[in-house]
Amino acid sequence: MSAQPRFKIKVRNLFFSYGENVVLKDLTVDIPDRAITAVVGPSGRGKSTLLTLFNRLWEDIPTARMLGSVQIHLNGSHRDIYHRSCSLSDLRRSVGMVFQTPNPLPMSIYKNICFPLKLAGKSDRKQMMPAVETALRQACLWEEVKNRLREDARSLSGGQQQRLCMARALVLKPEVLLLDEPTSSLDAAATEIIEQLILSLRETCTIVMVSHDMAQVERVADRGLELSDGRVVLK
Amino acid sequence: MRTERLVQRLLGLAAGCSVAVTLLIFGFMVILGLPLATGGTFFRMFTSAWLPHQGVYGIAPMVAGTLSIASLAVVFSVPVSLGCAALISVLGSGPLPALLHRLVRFMTGIPTVVYGFAGIFLLVPLVREWAGRGSGMCILSAALLLGVLIAPTMILFFSDSFASVPRTYLEAAEALGATPVQKLLHVVIPCSWRGLTSGVVLALGRAVGDTLIALMIAGNATAMPGSVLEPARTLTAHIALVVAADFDSLEFRTLFACGIILYLCTTVMVIFTRRIGAAWEQQRW
Amino acid sequence: MVTRLIDRSVTAFAWLSGLVLTASVVGLMGYVLIKGMGSLSPRLFFGNTAPLDALLLRRQVFDGIFPATVGTLTLVGLAIFIAMPIGIAAGIYMAEFATPRIQSVFGLFFDILAGIPSILVGLFGFSVALFFHHRVSDRIAPCLLISALSLAFLVLPYLIRTTQTALENLPRHVRVTAPALGASRLQTIIYVLLPQALSGIVSGVILSVGRCAEDTAVIMLTGVVATAGLPSSLLSSYEALPFFIYTISAQYADQAELMRGYGAAIVLLAVCALLFTLATLIRHRLADHLFYGTR
């Protein structure tokens, strides 16, 4: 392994638009490794869009267009994630994402966590359980659910569901974790737990989160990026 | 990745086959009906009467039968459907409109042949008594029954398009003190005319395409109908009756002319409703 | 004053329309139910044959609707067996793989196929049978297989549309779950989208079954006959309930036969009502699922 780079993600001259509506204009920004970067700004200015650019999740939107390059340091070197040689599935396994609303699948808690492993073709049952336990522990959910792993994931509370989604993203040991307003649908108590969790993950991966809550950004983030008129203002 | 492409091909093949069936249905009719066009009888057929004993196989009476029964059915059905849709989505309150909605949805599942069966033994005698002449199997009976049959299509379409009128418009009208009827007349109906038109066209298509009601109720006479109390034969019923009688003759070939007319009618209606729908989508954005 | 008058009359008209419609449907169906209720018994199905003998195919049933019921069941089963894989596959293609251009062109064709009078599908089946009769083998004539194929074509567009809509209506947050975890397009469809859209697809299939069971126009051109007994092979002619009802209404020999017609109408109505209720229940469960389930 080569030495860790200073910057995990390098965005160069990025333009992004939905149909006529230009969201990002000539955006150039570096995102530091093993740190929490928060993207802030008023809604509708392309914050969530910026996140989906890092795992190419915007590509199924028919009218969306992109120009420029995004490089992410994966498996020891910076790679252009929009290059043809870059596998979409592999990219998304190394760059996890958690959404605004918790989206557990209609299956048991255990199966939800196993799901990404199954997708990646890892079907060795003996390795599943330790992986699930590690992920749930990382997401601070293990103690609450260890006796009910076979229950429907949708029976959990909203905050627990969101931590389940974090665990599900963590089970693949991603290098980057994208969080799209992860606490916006939760109450204050659940938000605090999630914030603690985010801070504890800082040593394991590079986190980019979107938030509209300035106080939260102050509490959690190492660095803030403000999007304004499609460009970035460092905070 | 390779399996993915293979699966995509297979799925595409299924879709392609379904498209091919649509084209094949038309192609078969054109090929089998072609001898008519080359024989020069194609256009005469639309204007002349059906006199098989004299070797004249005109389908003009059937065109007239289809047009009169289908349009009359729509005329009967539109006001009732409009009333029901208004009751369901705007004017009604309490449990009855909801029940009506459920009944209308259930009506879409009632077999046409059961409607026809009930019509023969209940409606036809009533019409016969009321008219005081004939057998009761006539354009009027068929149109009345067909009106009931196509009502759910219209009601469901109407009430859906009423329901898709933006809430803000309704709130604006309410804030200005509009009564429910005023909301309906001045906001809901003007805003959903596209849905209303599509619904009527769709119902007309169903009325033109229906075979059983006309076959069972309309009397199937091949003479040009003179009034709504006379029996008539529709294009669809004509296809059903002649096939049952004969195999490979000029008589049989005229069926494909009937088929082509019906197919083209459907295509025009589908394109029309799709256009309206597309324009409507655009407006919403 | 004028406003109040308009208000009153429009409201009255709406209620009147509701009443007229309800009265017609309840009148028509109630008439069949009341007249035919008395004929509902095992005798309706099996006539003078012992039910057990008929069910075990030991003896033929001549004066009951058993052969027609079996004919309809076989026919519907075959038609759905043919239409379901093609319809669902095409629906998945339309929702998940087709480009917008293909979607609109193919969609136009499916709308036309859904819109053309069913008698034309029957005429097509008849012409195909005739074509094969002349060109391939004179053993081929309108038969059970041709009917089933034609019915399959008839319900194909419904299956495609319901599958396509069920998939397209899945909210975006369900749609992105699996890709964000590294799933390929195929994995997303198999593990997430199809299971979530299942109830919509299944209720579409059930409605198609109802459509096959009630259709008369297609089968009357493609091989159904008034008396055939039980279908002996795919290439034989057969009896079916809706056609039985149609023939009775056109010509019945005696009161007993007419009563069998009423009985058959009630049976068919009950079957369709059952299928309809089933489809509605399943779809409602889908709504619950999407509403409470994934929030």
CB contact under 8 A, C180 and A119: no
Tokens 């267009």 map to which residue?
A65
Domain of B202: which CATH number? 1.10.3720.10
For the domain spanning C40-293, the CATH number is 1.10.3720.10
For residue C276, give how far its alpha carbon lies from the nearest alpha carbon of chain B (Å): 6
CB contact under 8 A, B15 and C160: yes
Q: Which of the four pLDDT bands, split at 50, 70 and 90, describes residue C287?
A: low
Upper half-sphere CA count for residue A117 (Cβ side, 13 Å): 22
- C196 contacts on A by Cβ (under 8 Å): 106
- The yes-or-no verdict on residue A86 having pLDDT over 90 is no
Return the pLDDT at C83.
95
- C93 contacts on B by Cβ (under 8 Å): 8, 11-12, 14-15
- B104 contacts on C by Cβ (under 8 Å): 21
Surface of A (66-85) touching C: CB under 8 A: none
Q: C117 in contact with B at a CB cutoff of 8 Å? A: yes
- B181 contacts on C by Cβ (under 8 Å): 6-7, 10-11
Amino acid at position B264, single letter: L
- A115 contacts on C by Cβ (under 8 Å): 178, 181, 191
For residue A36, give how far its alpha carbon lies from the nearest alpha carbon of chain C (Å): 20
Q: Which of the four pLDDT bands, split at 50, 70 and 90, describes residue C52?
A: confident
Q: Which residue of C has its CA nearest to B273?
A: C111
Q: What would you measure as the largest C-alpha separation in chain B, in angstroms?
A: 75
For residue C199, what are its two tokens? 């109830």
Where are the domains positioned within chain C?
40-293
For residue C155, give how far its alpha carbon lies from the nearest alpha carbon of chain A (Å): 30
For residue A69, what are its two tokens? 């390059």
- C184 contacts on B by Cβ (under 8 Å): 1, 4
DSSP class of residue B186 equals I
Q: Which of the four pLDDT bands, split at 50, 70 and 90, describes residue B42?
A: low
Return the pLDDT at B22.
94
CB contact under 8 A, C295 and A101: yes
Contact C228, C238 (CB under 8 A): yes
Return the pLDDT at B247.
58
CATH superfamily of A7-234: P-loop containing nucleotide triphosphate hydrolases (3.40.50.300)
Return the pLDDT at B2.
81
d(CA B222, CA B224): 7
Return the pLDDT at C163.
94
Position B78 in a domain: yes
CB neighbour list of residue C277: distance below 8 Å, 6 or more residues apart: none
Return the pLDDT at B158.
92
Return the pLDDT at C20.
95
For residue C178, give how far its alpha carbon lies from the nearest alpha carbon of chain A (Å): 8
Position B198 in a domain: yes
First to last CA, chain B: 36
For residue C216, give how far its alpha carbon lies from the nearest alpha carbon of chain B (Å): 7
Position B50 in a domain: no
Describe chain A by its helix, strand, coil percentages, rounded to 5. Answer: 35, 30, 35
Q: Which of the four pLDDT bands, split at 50, 70 and 90, describes residue C18?
A: very high
Q: Which of the four pLDDT bands, split at 50, 70 and 90, describes residue B172?
A: confident
Q: Which residue of A has its CA nearest to C291?
A: A154
CB contact under 8 A, C93 and B240: no
Q: Among A41-45, B9-13, B189-193, C192-196, which stretch is predicted with the lowest mean pLDDT?
A: A41-45
Q: Which of the four pLDDT bands, split at 50, 70 and 90, describes residue B193?
A: confident
For residue A56, what are its two tokens? 């190419």
C7 → closest Cβ in B7, B32, B179: B179
Q: Which residue of C has its CA nearest to B179?
A: C7
Q: What angle do CA B74, B80, B82 make, to 5 degrees?
A: 90
Q: What angle do CA B240, B73, B199 make, to 5 degrees?
A: 100
Q: How many CB atoms lie within 10 A of CB A195?
A: 15
Position B25 in a domain: yes
- The yes-or-no verdict on residue B285 having pLDDT over 80 is no
Return the pLDDT at C224.
85
Q: How many domains does chain B have?
A: 2
- The yes-or-no verdict on residue A188 having pLDDT over 70 is yes
The chain-wide mean pLDDT, for chain C, equals 88
B216 → closest Cβ in C17, C113, C246: C246
**DSSP character string of B58-98:** --HHHHHHHHHHHHHHHHHHHHHHHHHHHIIIII--SHHHH
Tokens 């069913």 map to which residue?
C118
Position B171 in a domain: yes
Surface of C (185-224) touching A: CB under 8 A: 187, 191-192, 195-196
Strand partners, A38: A209, A224
Return the pLDDT at A3.
59
Amino acid at position A49, single letter: T
d(CA C19, CA C13): 10
For residue C10, what are its two tokens? 């429009």
Q: C294 in contact with A at a CB cutoff of 8 Å? A: yes
CB contact under 8 A, A103 and C181: no
d(CA A36, CA A38): 6
A105 → closest Cβ in C100, C177, C187: C177
CB contact under 8 A, C7 and B151: no
pLDDT tens sequence across A128-160: 889 999 999 988 899 899 899 888 888 899 889
Q: Which of the four pLDDT bands, split at 50, 70 and 90, describes residue B40?
A: low
CB contact under 8 A, C185 and B22: no
**DSSP character string of B220-264:** ---SPP-STTS-B--HHHHHHHHHHH-SSSHHHHHHHHHHHHHHH
Percent of chain A with pLDDT over 90: 18
Q: How many CB atoms lie within 10 A of CB A118?
A: 15
DSSP class of residue C78 equals H
Range of the domain at B14: 2-40
> Among residues C181, C175, C176, which one has the least CA distance to residue A122?
C181
CB neighbour list of residue C218: distance below 8 Å, 6 or more residues apart: C118, C119, C121, C122, C125, C147, C150, C151, C154
Q: Which residue of C has its CA nearest to A158?
A: C295
CB contact under 8 A, C11 and B83: no
Higher pLDDT, C227 or C28: C28
Whole-complex ipTM: 0.90
d(CA C235, CA B31): 26
Position B111 in a domain: yes
Q: What is the mean pLDDT of residues C122-126?
A: 92
Upper half-sphere CA count for residue A54 (Cβ side, 13 Å): 32
CB contact under 8 A, B263 and C90: no
Return the pLDDT at B191.
87
Return the pLDDT at C295.
27
Higher pLDDT, B38 or A206: A206
Q: A208 in contact with C at a CB cutoff of 8 Å? A: no
Q: Among A89-93, C226-230, C267-271, which stretch is predicted with the lowest mean pLDDT?
A: C226-230
Higher pLDDT, C76 or A6: C76
**DSSP character string of B52-69:** GGGTEE--HHHHHHHHHH
Return the pLDDT at A235.
62
Return the pLDDT at C84.
95
CB neighbour list of residue B122: distance below 8 Å, 6 or more residues apart: C27, C28, C31
Q: Which of the four pLDDT bands, split at 50, 70 and 90, describes residue C281?
A: confident
Return the pLDDT at B41.
66
Q: Say if residue B186 is in the same domain as residue B246.
A: yes
Q: What is the mean pLDDT of residues B87-93?
A: 86
d(CA C97, CA A122): 27
pLDDT tens sequence across A31-52: 998 899 998 877 767 788 888 8
In sequence order, what E strands does C129-224 have?
Answer: none
Burial class (CB in 10 A: 0-12, 13-18, 19+), B283: exposed
Contact A113, A168 (CB under 8 A): yes
> Among residues C161, C173, C237, C242, which one has the least CA distance to residue C201?
C161
Contact C286, A147 (CB under 8 A): no
Mutation pick from C72, C113, C120, C247 vs chain B, by most beta carbons of B within 10 Å, is C120
Q: A101 in contact with C at a CB cutoff of 8 Å? A: yes
Q: Say if residue B68 is in the same domain as residue B21.
A: no
Strand partners, A12: A69
pLDDT tens sequence across B124-162: 999 999 988 878 899 999 999 999 999 999 999 999 899
Give the three-class secondary structure for A233: strand
Q: How many CB atoms lie within 10 A of CB C293?
A: 16
CB neighbour list of residue B193: distance below 8 Å, 6 or more residues apart: none
- The yes-or-no verdict on residue B242 having pLDDT over 70 is yes
CB contact under 8 A, C184 and B4: yes
- The yes-or-no verdict on residue B281 having pLDDT over 60 is no
Strand partners, A74: A77
Return the pLDDT at B279.
53
Q: What is the mean pLDDT of residues A5-30?
A: 86
- The yes-or-no verdict on residue C291 having pLDDT over 50 is no
- C86 contacts on B by Cβ (under 8 Å): 14, 17-18
Amino acid at position B273, single letter: T
Q: A130 in contact with C at a CB cutoff of 8 Å? A: no
Chains touching chain A at 3 or more Cβ pairs under 8 angstroms?
Answer: C
- The yes-or-no verdict on residue C65 having pLDDT over 70 is yes
d(CA C172, CA C214): 37
